[in-house]
Structure 1
Amino acid sequence: MDRQELQSISFQLVANVGEASAHFSSAINHARDGEFDEAESEITSANECIVRAHESQTDLLRAEVSGEEIEFSLLLVHAQDHLMTTITFGRLAEEFVRLYREVHRG
């Protein structure tokens, strides 16, 4: 895999997880305001972005397993870091939505 292709995949990862993170933040804000349908919609949108990010990651894994040399890239490390952080943030966002739902039920 050449450097340009690796950079492209890394940018796809960063873009998708950035979008997911924004959706997760929005979900928390909606839940805080008692807007649970909107919060759930944002969670769904975020998870769709995570799936797209995982697809990019899987492309890299498949290439390496098939014997392609994947050159070390700080950009790829950065992308992977964002993916893992956003997955964790997503779990917390889902928990916040549940908690806010309970608080609003009173």
Structure 2
Amino acid sequence: MNGIEEIIFEIISNSGEARSILMDVIQRAEKGDFEQSEVKINEAEKRLKNAQKAHFKIITSEAKKRQLPISLLLVHAEDQMMAAELIHDLTKTLVQTEKRIAQLEEKLKR
């Protein structure tokens, strides 16, 4: 495996892990476990940053006029990273919505 392939797999791995963590966050938020949701969001954000740093290495290499072959793995890695970033944004919104619902339900009980 060459250096670029290692970077690509780093993107795929970190993006996939972030996505899995974020799906867990959604389930926790639906159950009202907001404290752990926040902890897990932070964990997912670290994974996303790792993926973004790896991706930046590829972008920097190309900017230095080093021609990189476009491979299916690279396309897959970028797709996984973009999907994880989108899920991250949506998850944060869903957690906030679940918090608001929980607060409203609490008010209705009074």
Pairwise TM-score range, normalised by the shorter structure? over 0.9
Partner of 1:14: 12
Q: How far 1:4 sits from its partner (Å)? A: 1.6
- Equivalent AA in structure 2 for residue 10 of structure 1: I
Which residue, out of 52, 55, 73, partners 1:54? 52
- How much is the aligned-residue C-alpha RMSD, in angstroms? 1.0
Question: For each residue in 1:60-93, what CA deviation from the matched residue of structure 2 results, as whole angstroms up to 9, or x when unmatched?
Answer: 1111111211111110000000111111111111
**Could you tell me the TM-score, scaled by structure 2's length?**
0.90
The unaligned stretches of length 5 or more in structure 1 are: none
**Could you tell me the TM-score, scaled by structure 1's length?**
0.94
The unaligned stretches of length 5 or more in structure 2 are: 105-110
Which residue, out of 74, 89, 92, partners 2:72? 74
Q: How is 1:86-105 mapped onto 2 (pairs within 5 angstroms)?
A: 86-105=84-103
* Structure index of larger Rg: 2
For these two proteins, the number of residue pairs brought into alignment is 104
Q: Identity rate of aligned residues, in percent? A: 25
- Report the Cα distance in structure 1 between the residues aligned to 2:88 and 2:70, rounded to whole angstroms: 28
Q: How far 1:47 sits from its partner (Å)? A: 0.7
Structure 1 consecutive aligned stretches of length 4 or more whose deviation exceeds 6 Å: none
Partner of 1:42: 40
